[in-house]
Amino acid sequence: MTKKVAFYARAASKTGEGSIEAQIERGKAVVADHGWALVASFTDVENNEALFKARPGIKLLCAYIEREQIDIVLCDVPLHVSDSRAHVARFLEELGSGGIELWSAAMAERVTLRNLPYADSGDQGKHATAPSSKNDHGIRRAGFGYKLSSAVDAAGRRIFGYRVVHPEQAEVIRRIFRMYAAGRSPRDIASALNAEGVKGPGGKPWREEAIYGNRARGTGIINNMLYVGMRQNEDKEFGGYVPALRIVSDELWHRVRQQQTNVRRRFSQSR
């Protein structure tokens, strides 16, 4: 039986990149890809001061769920449901009690407490950066696509681990995304970059594994959600949206997700 889907979108505007309109279009693509049926859509314009259940769109969605039979609530990312992990976790429980699943179009999977992105509105937007990782010697690394900045705080002290976008590497990342979305394999992409002398992460030659990584774990160039501004903590949970760290557009990100789905489908059919 075809699953019935209600879509929820929240954004600062109704048009443009990351807008409500764009979120709904991506949601429609996911619905079509799974053979589901979109029966309703609910939206809210960003309002951080409004309580979660006080938002008009969420109120309408909850009322709809109470009177209509649906199987899935679909959102672009859980952070659009709420900036608070606690709110989303409670919403998950409420949906689950009615046999309803929460899915994320960007994550391309069902949202559960295990993979639920963490978002604390208390630190949302405070810094245009994210913590950088460390290598085995404890020296901080910015990560491919970024560079450490010499930014200082109000007292003139350097902010260690503060990173900004590295222009040249960012263009390489966008190029990899475009090449993969156009149908080129990670191996072909790596070979092309190496032939041109383009350095990979750590200044090393490109390997296909560095490009495709693991989609479920968010590893590899094409799966790194920091490139669309989604910050992760050390436990690989999402800690908020940082626009200043965005490198890839939502449109290009979703083209790559669709290509991954196409590749996986072709592989399954060939077995």
Q: How far apart are CA 50 and CA 46, in angstroms?
A: 9
Indicate the DSSP class of residue 245: G
By residue count, the chain amounts to 271
Distance CA 248, CA 253 (A): 6
Q: What is the pLDDT of residues 213-237, one digit of tens each?
A: 887 777 899 999 889 887 665 444 5
pLDDT band for 64, please (50, 70, 90 cuts): very high
C-alpha span between 211 and 194 (Å, rounded):
13
Cβ–Cβ contacts within 10 Å for residue 99, how many? 9
Residue appearing with tokens 């149908």: 183
> What are phi and psi for residue 150, nearest 5 degrees?
-95, 30
CA 197, chain centre distance (Å): 30
Q: Which of 59-68, 187-196, 248-257, 258-267 shows the lowest mean pLDDT across its residues?
A: 258-267
- Dist. CA 47–CA 82, nearest whole Å: 11
pLDDT for 174-213, tens place per residue? 999 999 999 999 999 999 999 999 999 888 999 999 999 8
SS3 157: coil
CA distances in angstroms from 88 to 81, 92, 253, listed in the order given: 7, 6, 24
Buried b / exposed e over 159-195, threshold 16 CB at 10 Å, is eebbbebbeebbebbbebbebbbeeeebeebbeebee
Q: What is the rounded end-to-end Cα distance, in angstroms, of the chain?
A: 26
More confident residue, 175 or 131: 175
Q: Per the structure block, which two tokens stand in for 215?
A: 């989609």
Within 8 A by CB and 6+ apart from 126, the residues are: none
For residues 165-177, give the mean pLDDT.
95
Check residue 97 and give its pLDDT.
86
